[in-house]
Homo-oligomer: A and B are copies of this chain.
Amino acid sequence: MRQSQSLIPTLKEVPADADIKSHQLLLRAGFIRQTASGIYSFLPLGKRVLKKVEDIVREEMDRIGANEMLMPAMQPAELWKETGRWNNFGPELMRMHDRHEREFALGATHEEVVTSIIRDEVKSYKRLPLSLYQIQTKFRDEKRPRFGLLRGREFVMKDAYSFHDSFDSLDETYKHMYEAYKRIFSRCGLNFRAVIADSGSMGGKDTHEFMVLSEVGEDIIAYSDQSEYAANIEMAPVVTTYSVPEVAQKDMELVETPGKKTMQEVADYLGHGLDQGLKAIMFKVDDQLVLVVTRGDHEVNDIKLKNLYNASIVELASEEETRQLLGAGFGSLGPVGVDNKVDVIADTAVEFVRNVSCGGNKDGYHYINVNPGRDFQVKEYADLRFIQEGDPSPDGKGTIQFAKGIEVGHVFKLGTLYAERMNATFLNDQGKANPMVMGCYGIGVSRTVAAIVEQFHDDNGMVWPTAVAPYQVHLLVLNSKNEEQASLGDQLYEELIQAGVEVLYDDRKERAGVKFADSDLIGIPNRITVGKRAADGIVEFKQRSDDEKEELTIEQLRDKFTSFIGK
C-alpha cells in the first residue's frame, strides 16, 4: 500500500487521556481512533493487525476441528430470560428494543443463542461432541471503559462453545482448546501464562485464564520459575513445609504498645521481625464470626477461607462487631483467651511459631512470648494465606514468582448449567435424555492486539512481531522529489509486491525526519530506506527490533526478499 493513499494519521503528542503505552501508541501511530467512550474505529493499520490475529485464531480453531459460524449480535430477551441472565447480567448487558417493542440484548456472549440452536438441531449422542466458534463484535457496557482496547464497550472476540455427552469428552476438548490457545498466543509472539483461575459462581469446574505478562495487567499471577505452573494468586495453594524453631518457650507477658496498630509498627516497637508476630482478623463467613490468625508476614486469602467453610459470602467484620465481641479494635486483636467466644482458625504456618507477639484484645496492648497450643487453642489449621514470592511452587518444581497479567483468553468447563436451564438434552445410547455437558472458550481478539503492543514497544514506538505486523516491510523514499530515489522506490515497491511481500511504501512528500519517526512509531519489522545512494543502487536495511543498519545493493536486497515471504 502506498502511504500517500492510506489513512495513517500519526500524532507527535501523547494523547491526554491515554494512560498506558498500548493506548497511547495505537492512537499515536494511527491504528485506532475513538468514536465514543470505549468505542473505537480501527483505521487501516489497526484493522490489518486485527485481521492477522483473527487469522491465527481461525487457523488454530480449525486445526482442532472447531466449526466456524456466525451468530447474530441482536439476541431476543426471551433466551436470556431462560437462563436468568436477563436479570442477573447487570447493566453491562446492552439492551434495546425493535420497532415492535420486542426486547433484545446486544451480544455480550453467546451461550444462550448457541444453546438454543443446538437444542433444536442435535438430539442424539451420535452428533456429539461438537465444537463451534465465531469471531465477532461483542458489546459490554463497562461502567468505566479505559485503557483503550483493553477495556472497551465494543470489541472483537473469538468465542467458542463445545457440547458433549460426558465430562470425559469435555475434558478432552478442553485439553485441545488449551493447547490451541497456547499455540495462538505463542504465534502472536506473546510472553504469557496459562493460569489456573477461579471458576466462580458459574457452576463450572476447571478454568484457565491466559494471561499476557504486563505491568498494566489488573491480575497478579503466581508462577513457577522452573515449570509451567501458574495460577491466579487467589488460586495457588501454599505447600511450604515449616519446622518448629529449636528454642525454649518463654513466659507469656502482656505489654503496652501505645498507638501501635499495624503489624509493622508493633514489630518495630517490640524489636522483632514481621514473622515473629501473629495477625488476627475477624471475618463474617455467611453471618458466622470467625477469627483468622496468620503470621504477620502473611496475608489472608479470603477465597481459601470461603472454600474452607463452603460459604457463599465472606466479608470483614466491622470494628464495632469486633470490639463488642473481643473488647478491642482492629489493631489489638489476638487469639489468646477468645476460643470460647468465636471460632479461631489459623493458617498452617501459625502452628510452627514460638515466642511470638499478638494483639492483647485490649486497645494498646500486645502479648509477647505467645506459643500456640500452650497460650491459645485453634479449632483448625488450614492453608489460609496467599502464596508469596519465594514460596515453593505447588507442583513441586521451582520457586514462585509474581507477575501482573492481562487476561486475553479464558477456557471454562461450564458443565450442565446452561443445558439444564435451557432444556438442551440429548438421547444417550440407552435412549435416555440427559442434559448436554458444555464448555466455553473466549479470546479477546482486539484486547490481544493491545496486549502485543504492551509487550512490544520501545521509546520510539511499536515493535511488531512479524506474524502480526501490519506489513512485513516498510519501504521509505527519503526524498520523493528526487527522481532517482522515487524511481528506485517505485521499482522496489513493485518487485516486493510481485514477490508476495506485504509492503507499506512511504511515498509521501514529507521530510526524511518525519518518515523515520513515523516508521519507528508504526513499528513494521523490516525497513528499507531509499536515500542518497539510490543513484549507486544502494539502499539501507534495518530491522525495527535492532539498532544495526546495513547498506545493501539491490541484488543483496532481493536475496533478503525471500526471508520476508510467508512470515
Say yes or no: B70 contacts A117, CB within 8 Å: no
Say yes or no: B47 contacts A7, CB within 8 Å: no
Which A residues from 61 to 120 make CB contacts under 8 A with B?
65, 67-76, 91, 94-96, 98-99, 102, 104, 106, 113, 116-118, 120
Which A residues from 111 to 141 make CB contacts under 8 A with B?
113, 116-118, 120-122, 126-127, 129-132, 134, 136-137, 139, 141
Chain copies in the assembly? 2
Say yes or no: A65 contacts B1, CB within 8 Å: yes
- The residue on B at minimum CB distance from A79 is B35
Q: How far is the CA of A130 from the CA of B5 in the complex (A)?
A: 6
A70 in contact with B41 given A35-B113, A36-B104, A76-B35 (CB within 8 Å): yes
Say which size band chain A's interface belongs to. 35 or more
Which A residues from 189 to 233 make CB contacts under 8 A with B?
none
Q: How far is the CA of A46 from the CA of B72 in the complex (A)?
A: 13
Q: Which residues of B contact A113 (CB under 8 A)?
A: 35, 41
Least distance between A177 CB and chain B CB atoms (Å): 15
Q: Which residues of B contact A46 (CB under 8 A)?
A: 69-70
Say yes or no: A43 contacts B72, CB within 8 Å: no
- 19 A-B pairs, CB-CB below 8 angstroms? A1-B65, A1-B67, A4-B126, A5-B67, A7-B118, A9-B122, A35-B72, A42-B69, A42-B70, A44-B132, A46-B69, A46-B70, A47-B69, A47-B134, A73-B137, A73-B139, A91-B99, A98-B153, A99-B141
- The residue on B at minimum CB distance from A58 is B51
A68 in contact with B41 given A7-B132, A36-B74 (CB within 8 Å): no
Q: How far is the CA of A69 from the CA of B41 in the complex (A)?
A: 8
Q: How far is the CA of A459 from the CA of B47 in the complex (A)?
A: 42
Say yes or no: A33 contacts B68, CB within 8 Å: no
Produce 1/0 per residue, A20-55, CB < 8 A to B. 000000000010010110011111101110110000
Q: Which residues of B contact A102 (CB under 8 A)?
A: 36
Least distance between A208 CB and chain B CB atoms (Å): 24
Least distance between A107 CB and chain B CB atoms (Å): 10
- The residue on B at minimum CB distance from A90 is B99
Q: Which residues of B contact A42 (CB under 8 A)?
A: 69-71
Say yes or no: A130 contacts B99, CB within 8 Å: no
- The residue on B at minimum CB distance from A65 is B5
